[in-house]
Every structure is written in C-alpha cells, then in structure tokens.
Structure 1
Amino acid sequence: MIEGKRFTEVDGLRGIAALLVVLTHFGESLTKLSVPAAVSVAANTWFYDLFSPGRVGVVAFFCISGFVIPYSFGGRNPALSFPINRFFRIYPAFWLTICLASLVFTALGMRTITAPQFLVNATLLHRMVGVPYILTVDWTLLIEMLFYGICYALFLGKRVHSFPMHFAAMIVLLGIAVVGGVYRWYHPMSSLPIGIPTYLAAMHFGALTRMRVIGYGPIATKLYPAALFFLVFGASAANTLAYHHTKTELIGVVAANTGYLGGVSLFLVCVYAKLFTSSAWQFLGKISYSVYLLHTIILALVISLWPLFSSWVMAVLILMPAYFTVVVFCSFLSQRYVEQPSVALGRRVVKRLESRTRLGSERTT
C-alpha cells in the first residue's frame, strides 16, 4: 500500500469546501438583514430549503478526513505521535479563535460569555456536557475527534488499513442513523443528532476510497460499489426520516439530502478526475482550517457594518468581496503564525519523547 503518497487534489478540495461554508453563512445572513422580502425568501429557499452549499463543504471535509487520517500514523512510535500531532494540529488555532470570538461577540453585544463557559469550550467537549458554544462551527471538530478515536483504536488493533473493517463500521453507523431517523420521524421535537453517524460514515467511506484508489486488492474492487450504494441510500434514508417532520432543524429535508450527496459527489469527482491541483487551490487548501474557524467572526464584524449602507445592493457589492478578502488574509496570518508553528512544536515534542523512550529502552537492555 502506498501510504506516503500525497494527493494534491484533496488538498485543493479543502479550499473549495471551506469557501462553500463561507459562502453559505453569508447567504444565510441575508435572511436576517434588512433586504427586500423577495431577496430574503430567495436566500431562505436556496440555503435552507433546497440546497446547502455549506453542508456540501462539510461532507466533503469529512470524506477528506477519512481519506487522510488512517494514513497519518507514522514515525517510530505512531501510538505516541498520532495523538500529540493531532492535538497540536487542532487546539492552538482553535484556542486563538475562541479568544477572538469572545472579544468580538462580546463587543458587538451578540452574547455574554462567562469564564467557566470559555474554559469548558477550550476543551472542545462543551457540547457533550451541555455548555453553550462560543463558536458556532466547532461541532465538526468534535466529530473529527470521534473519528480520530476510532482510527486510533483500529490502529492499536492493527485494522486501521483494513477495507472490511471500515466497510463494516460504515454499515453499522448508517444503521444507527436510520434507526435514529425512524425515532425522529415519530418525534418531530427530538434533536437526536443523526448527523454524527452519517458524517462518521462519510469518513469511513473516504478511507475506503483511498484504499480503492491505491489498489488495496480484489476485495476493494468488489465491495467499493456496494459501499457507495449503501452510503447514498443509507444516508438519504436517515436524512429523510430525520428531517421530514422535524421541528428542531434549520434546513429542510431536500437541502439535507442534496447537501450530503453533493459533498460525496464533489469528493469523488475531485479524487477520480484529479481536480483542484492548481497553486491557487493548494493555497486555499493550506489555509482552509483557519478559514473555517475564523470566518464567522469576520462575518459578524462585516454584518455590523450593514446599517451604514443606504442600499442593500451596495452593501452586498461592497461587503461580500470584503468579507471573502479579509477571511483569506486573516486565515493566511493564522496559518503562518499559529498553525504552522504549532504543528512544528508538536513534531518537536514527539521527537523528544521518542528519543527519551528509545534511550530508556536502551538502558534497560
């Protein structure tokens, strides 16, 4: 298996996925601003009822994680290096973001953030213990960490590169999602998180796609079409059951399905057609994590300027490009001066711990 190969098209897809999320949150904001009723209705129909570009981006992100994470176990002691590297990859940039979010949201009067709330949010476990979030988009990071835990367990069991294991995990998760969907069909006020199993299933599908692409063997050739079939119909069934009568979701059943299937489709087209390999897409992919984290803060600042414009058309023409430009610029700074040093620090920590472990084993022998 070609474990060290880098797929530049997947790096570029990260940039596309991040921009889709950025675009969606701007579009959704139009439903809450002083715009003509027709504009508000159109934005609501497009971003909530019929299609959610943001969900396309999120699902594509999760597929990418499945494509990459099982192949991130490297070094002399992967059981040690993987959790450390993931910690330094995720947390420092996230801590910066919630600090900025706390300052900006408090200054704009959007919410009151207490010290205990901030400290629990910093662990990224706040949603599991019922503490209100500071950053609206951090729910995806919790699902990412769940997948890290699954992959870590599979690695310890020497099954992280097992096609049958990822296939079975995907089927089980889709089954859980469908059962949860049935429950929500009969309980419209339920907020049972159907997205968690369907998104985790997309991650395992990403892992299966990697194995199919690099030539895992006959079993991948035979079972991969079945994996795609089960993902499409299993996730569609779960989303339809969960969203058809729901009273607790912002988007409708059509948008839930088109968004999910659109994300899987975008991922597959990218991988097999090898799209998004240009330097511009690579740059956006490189800063995509910071784009994802920072954009809602910048959007809040941009929207606060909306009342300064006498025309909603002028506001859109000026604020929308300004929003994208500032997001990209700030994300570049975050990637350069926070993400990059943090990842490098994580590698130094791993190297030092591995050296100590090796010296300790040599002394005992």
Structure 2
Amino acid sequence: MQVATLPPPPPTTRPTPRRTRQSWLDALRGFAALVVVFEHSLDPLLPEIRGVISPWFDFGQYGVLVFFLVSGYVVPISLERRGDVRAFWITRVFRLYPLWALAAAAGAAFAVAGVYTTLPGQIADRPWAAALAHLTMLQDLLQVPGVVNVFWTLSYEMAFYLLVTAMFVLGARGTGTRASLAFAVGAPIAGALVPAGLLSRGLGVEAVVAVAAAVLAGGFAAVLAGRPEVRRHGAVALAVLAVALLALNSRVGAWQSLAIMATMFGGTALHHMERSAALRARWGWAICLVPVLAVATAVWLGPGWGMPEADQQAFKWSWSTAMIGAWLTFAAGLALRRRAIPPVLAWLGLVSYSIYLLHPLALQVVRRITVDPSAMSLGVRLAWEAALFAAVVACAALGHRFVERPAQMLGRRLAAERPVKIAQNR
C-alpha cells in the first residue's frame, strides 16, 4: 500500500530582527543634556560654583562635546547602513526642525514679552538675513547670533551632516579617522592664520548668508535629484561650503570650529574601530592624538577676542579639561556599553533634544522669579535648582510626546516609502 506523503511546508521567512537601540548612547545624551542645564543654572542659582570651578572646568563645553562625540558615533553609520541620502535627510529634517521651530518661536516671544533676554541687535536690524541663516541652521557659522543661545551647537551638527553626506556621495566611506586627524591638524594652522568671521567682515553678513543659502539649496538639489555626475558636483559644493564656513567664518574662530569637527569625526572613527580589530591595531594610537591636538591648540592659540590675559588663561584651562573629560566620559560609556542601563537614563536620552532646546526658556522664568541669588540662602537656591530640573524634564517630556515623536514617526513613514538603496546615491 502506498502511503500518501504531504508536501513539505513552505519555507518560512523570518523578518530581519530590528536593531536594538544602544541604550548607553541614550544615557550619554541624557547625562550631557542635564550637565548643560546645570552649567546654565550656575549664574542665577549657584554663583559659588561658577566662581570656584568654572575657571578650571566648563560644564557646558563638556556636555556639548559629549553630544558631539555621540553624534559622530551614530550619524554616519545610520547613513551608511541605509544607503539612501534622501531618506537620511527626510528623517533628519523631521528629527531636528519641528522642535527647533517651537523653541525659536518661544524664544522670540519671550524676548518680545521681556521674559527672555532681548533679541540681539543683529537679528532686529537684519530680520530677513537672520531668518534665512536660522533656516539653514548654520547661523553660528554665518556670524548671526541664535535667537536661543543653545542654537549655536546645531550649526556644527549641520556642518557635520553636510560633510558626512558629501563623503558618502563621493564614496569616501569609513574615513572617520583620517577626517578627524585632518581637522585636528588643520585647527592650529587655520586658527593661527584666519581671524574669526573673515568672510562676513569682507563681504558683509547679508551677502554671506545669501550665498551660503544658495549653495546649500543648489547642492542639496543636485545631491538628491541629479544624475551621478551631478550628485558628485553637488556633494563637492556642500563639502566646500561646510569647510569654508568652519575655517573662515565661525563666530568662535577657526581653531575651535575645526577642533569640534575633529571631535565629531573622532566619534565616527571609534565606531569603525569598535567593529574592526584591524582598524584598532592600525589607527587606535592615532585617534588618541585628536584630543591631545585640540588641547595643545587651545593652549597655544587661546580664544583671542581681546580678552584680558586672566580670562584667556581660564578659557584655556576650562576648554582643555572639558575636552579631556568628554573623551574620557565617552570612552567609559564605550567600555560599559554591554552593561544594563537604568531605564530612566535611557529615557532621558530619548528626550535629551527637548531638554537641550527648551531649558533656556524655563531658566529665564526662574531668573525672573529669583532675581538676586545673594538674597537667598543656599537651601532655597538648591530647592530652586531641583525645581528647575523638574520643570525642564517635564517640559521635555511634553515636547518629545507631542512634537518630537509625531514628527519623527512621520519622517520615518516618508523615508520608508523609498526602497532601501545600498550605496546608490554616489
């Protein structure tokens, strides 16, 4: 008797497992954001710490340098993993601009109402140039003060995105170490030769803003929509724009701008080295030169800007210790990356962008209420400090829930409508 056999079941296709979030990076983001809040609270609430510690260690610079290392670690890899420049920028725009627009509008409203510090005269005198500079997020590299003081770091994030995009389109992948060393070596050279804001001094702020916006728009149009040769030309335009603004027109000076870029690409190099023993063996010693060169450049050049000698010495110390502290903190996070992270620390990382952009507004309210810290006891000021952090975290939770998260979900949906293209935007 012949036994009937059933056909084999169809092969099951298992979905590709989603990449889990790296919670240690979220923890570093959240920690860095709270450190920046602490720095900005010193003048109105804890002037004792400002007087004793700030000449030796800048909490704010330390926090943003940790941010920059984290950005350097994750951003280029996210572009390389997806392989689609347009999808990358869709998600970036929806990640950055909605909350930025809210913070900018609130900052302008606070200034008009007298709650916030008054708008800088340059913004009031040249509103169209200031608005256009802010829309590019390159305002600090265009000699335009931010309507909210913390916006300055976004200019360096944007310059980094432009360089990463250009490198990807031109096929220069996995070059974080060489780029980091190039910027670190270029920092003292450019800093010694180029005064801050050179382009705007020679051409005028309005002209530089208009040219930069035009090059940015044209470069993006070419990179996102053109033929391969056109894309390459657009990538070159974006890279030249970013490097020119960093070296020739930043508000803080060429050496500090290039040191920041070296730090961000240092994060990229560390990511590649983590995944390649060959890279670690070949370049591990070299990446250690980046913070060393950044500190040496600060000690050699200093801020300039007509500062008194005592203030220059304090800046050199505070910048140098902040740079060393940021690299050591990131190295500690990297070493402990496989440890369990408390959920609250990971959550603070999720809302860190809201903490960073919204805390100056909450701080100005506290300033208006407390007025004179010398008239309050230490206990009262510590209570205000706790209240400030609680208010900032609450505002950040609302900002993330009702602004950031919906915008990010929309950006992901729009990006997901495009098929994944590995290395096809070059």
Pairwise TM-score range, normalised by the shorter structure: 0.7 to 0.9
Q: CA deviation at 1:247?
A: 3.1
Provide closer, same or farther for how the CA distance between residues 8 and 44 of structure 1 changes in structure 2, counting only shifts above 3 A.
Answer: same
Determine the structure 1 residue equivalent to 2:225: none
Residue 121 in structure 1 maps to residue 134 in structure 2: yes
- Residue 247 of structure 1 aligns to a residue in which SS? coil
Q: Percent identity?
A: 26
Instruction: Provide the C-alpha distance between the structure 1 equivalents of 2:43 and 2:260, rounded to a whole number of angstroms.
Output: 22
Alpha-carbon spacing, 1:155–1:95, altered in 2? closer, same or farther (3 Å): same
User: CA 1:50–1:75 in 2, change beyond 3 Å: closer, same or farther?
Assistant: closer
Match of 2:399 among 334, 337, 345: 334
Partner of 1:224: 284
Matched residue SS, 2:371: helix
Q: Provide structure 1 residue ranges, at least 5 long, that are not aligned to the other structure.
A: 31-38, 359-365
Structure 1 residues 191 and 121: alpha-carbon distance in aligned structure 2, compared to 1, 3 A threshold: closer
Taking a change above 3 Å as real, the CA distance of residues 333 and 244 of structure 1, as seen in their structure-2 partners, is closer
Q: State whether residues 93 and 338 of structure 1, in contact with CA within 8 Å, keep that contact through their aligned partners in structure 2.
A: yes
* 1:38-53 correspondence runs (5 A): 40=47, 42-47=49-54, 49-53=55-59
Counterpart secondary structure, 1:304 = helix
CA RMSD, Structure 1 to Structure 2 (Å):
2.9
Distance 1:142 1:244 in 2: 19
Give the gaps of 5 or more residues in structure 2: 1-17, 196-250, 422-426
Runs of 4+ displaced beyond 6 Å: none
CA distance in 1, matches of 2:291, 2:252: 23
* Residues 51 and 258 in structure 1, CA contact (< 8 A), matched pair in contact too: yes
Highest CA radius of gyration, 1 or 2?
Answer: 2
1:105-145 Cα offsets, whole Å, 9 max, x none, are 32225214645345643442333433332111111111111
- Residue of structure 2 aligned with 1:178, choices 151, 163, 188: 188
1:139 and 2:152 matched: yes
Q: Which residue of 1 aligns with 2:270?
A: 209
Query: Partners in 2 of 1:207 and 1:284 — Cα distance?
Result: 23
Deviation at 1:170, TM superposition (A): 1.1
1 CA distance for matches of 2:255 and 2:379? 40
Q: Tell whether 2:27 aligns with 1:12.
A: yes
Query: What is the number of equivalent residue pairs in this alignment?
Result: 337
Q: Which amino acid aligns with 1:43?
A: R
Matched, 1:271 2:357: no
Residues 305-316 of structure 1 mapped to structure 2, 5 A cutoff: 305-307=369-371, 310-316=375-381
SS in 1 for 2:176: helix
1:323 maps to 388
Opposite residue 253 of structure 2, the aligned amino acid is L
Verify the 8 A CA contact 2:80 2:168 in the aligned structure 1: no
- Asked whether the equivalents of residues 274 and 280 of structure 2 are also in contact (C-alpha less than 8 Å), the reply is no
Q: Aligned equivalents of 1:118 and 1:320: distance in 2?
A: 33
Query: What SS does structure 1 have at the residue aligned with 2:416?
Result: helix
Secondary structure of 1:133's match? coil
Q: CA deviation at 1:76?
A: 6.9
CA contact (8 A) 1:306 1:315 kept: no
> Could you tell me which residue of structure 2 aligns to residue 361 of structure 1?
none
Q: Which residue of 2 aligns with 1:200?
A: 261
Q: How does 1:282-293 map to 2 (within 5 A)?
A: 282-293=346-357
> What are the Cα deviations for residues 140-188 of structure 1, in whole angstroms up to 9, with x where unaligned?
111111111111122213333x2xx222111110112111343589xxx
Cα distance change on mapping 1:119 and 1:232 into 2, 3 Å: closer
Corresponding residue of 1:55: 61
Is contact 1:17-1:60 (8 Å) kept?
A: yes
Q: Which amino acid is the alignment partner of residue 81 of structure 1?
A: A
CA–CA distance in 1 between the matches of 2:282 and 2:191? Answer: 29
Looking at structure 2, the residues matched to 40 and 175 of structure 1 have their Cα atoms a distance apart, in angstroms, of 37
What is the TM-score of this pair, normalised by structure 2? 0.72
The amino acid across from 1:260 in the alignment is M
Q: Does residue 298 of the first structure (1) align with residue 399 of the second (2)?
A: no
Q: Is the Cα contact below 8 Å between 1:74 and 1:81 reproduced in 2?
A: no
2:408 and 2:162 map into 1 onto residues whose CA distance is: 19
Aligned to 2:100: 94
Cα distance in 1 for partners of 2:291, 2:399 equals 36
Give the letter aligned to residue 233 of structure 1. V
TM-score, structure 1 as length reference: 0.83
The Cα of 1:73 is off from its aligned counterpart by: 2.0
